[in-house]
Amino acid sequence: MPGQTREVVVGLDNGGTAINATVLDRAGRFLVDRLVETPSRVGEGPAVAIGALSEALAGVLRLTGVPRAAVKTVGLDTPGPASADGVISTRGAVNFADPAWRGFDVRGALETRLGLPVIYSNDANAAALYAHHVHFGPEAARRSSVALIVGTGLGGGVVESGRVVRGAAGMAGEFGHIQIPMEGLLAPGQPTPVCNCGLAADGESVASLTGIEKNLLPYWLTRFPGHPLHALGSARRAAIQVRGHAAAGDQLSLEIFRQQAIALGRLFTIAANFTDPDAYFLGGGVVETTPSFRDWFLATVSENTDLRAEQRPLATFALVPDLDMAGARGAALAGAAALGWLPAAG
């Protein structure tokens, strides 16, 4: 069809192993309703990985029958840490281990390769933006939200009036590295958790896979001497299995997730006093589990979020939807926002 419906934004979610691609048209419709994944090849360094992103774009256009001339901009997201403009941290990043990635301008390199404008988001901000727009729909521009994404680390995003709050250096919404009170969270005698960033008792030191592996699981195993997770021999493998055990009702694993839920609630309490959002979203691997465990976890996070009497009836707690596609879709929405395609606040 001619005219504005042929104008699209391509969203590319560049992960540690895979690229997920999507296409968003000017009417706000996603033209693919499933995962469109190709290998990201980030382990082979930036030159190979930029080529893989270019191929992913071509592939999703072929799949949807959209001509390249219809692409007005590209939304790109990657895991952090990276600057607001998509320059990977000079200190390196977990998902970008090759030394050539340090200080690499992934946004600029893709823009040069494609000859198209590229709008960069970090992956947690992209997921936050997608959750916000799915939840609020036409109301998105008049609402605010915060999102916490629990994975290997703890990512976060703040959305105000339908737009991601990026901050001066692109580091707004880094809830993972806000310190929280440990009183009433830790068991008597439990060591204070420490984060990879060097801080003690911050959000990520508790509410992340890394936090389970380094802080929570080593303590709780001492309290459950006969537990089957002792036999695994690898702390990382054991940490990964905690979620499955928790969903099956295992006591040790539920203690770990109860501590994570308290930490997440305390971070949401900070948000409640800071931007007082309409919605609190929770995403990441932690919610990819059985419905009953997910519901318990979200309810426990909500119970540990200290809202005022005026706030509680207005606040919504919800999960980030379509988790596998949230990054690509959120990156595409950020591209659409840059083009002025999203409705503005009235």
In this complex, which beta carbon is closest to Zn ion, that of residue 119 or of residue 207?
Answer: 207
Q: How far is the CB of 174 from Zn ion (least distance, A)?
A: 9
**Stretch 54-83 residues interacting with Zn ion (CB under 5 A):** none
| Radius of gyration, CA atoms only, the chain | 20
Q: How far is the CB of 211 from Zn ion (least distance, A)?
A: 9
In this complex, which beta carbon is closest to Zn ion, that of residue 187 or of residue 197?
Answer: 197
State the Cα–Cα distance between residues 74 and 117, nearest whole angstrom.
Answer: 6
**Stretch 181-220 residues interacting with Zn ion (CB under 5 A):** 195, 197, 199, 202, 204
Q: How far is the CB of 198 from Zn ion (least distance, A)?
A: 7
In this complex, which beta carbon is closest to Zn ion, that of residue 39 or of residue 218?
Answer: 218
Residues 257 and 200 sit within 8 Å (Cβ to Cβ)? no
Query: Under DSSP, is residue 117 helix (H, G, I), strand (E, B) or coil?
Result: coil
In this complex, which beta carbon is closest to Zn ion, that of residue 136 or of residue 175?
Answer: 175
208 closest CA partner among 257, 244, 249: 257
DSSP string, 238-285: HHHHHHHHHHTT-HHHHHHHHHHHHHHHHHHHHHHHHT--SEEEEEEG
211 Cβ partners below 8 Å, 6+ apart? 154, 193, 195, 204, 205, 260
- Number of residue whose CB is nearest Zn ion: 195
One symbol per residue from 159 to 188: x for binding Zn ion (CB under 5 A), - otherwise; what is it?
------------------x-----------
Q: How far is the CB of 208 from Zn ion (least distance, A)?
A: 9
In this complex, which beta carbon is closest to Zn ion, that of residue 63 or of residue 199?
Answer: 199
Q: Interface residues with Zn ion (CB under 5 A)?
A: 177, 195, 197, 199, 202, 204
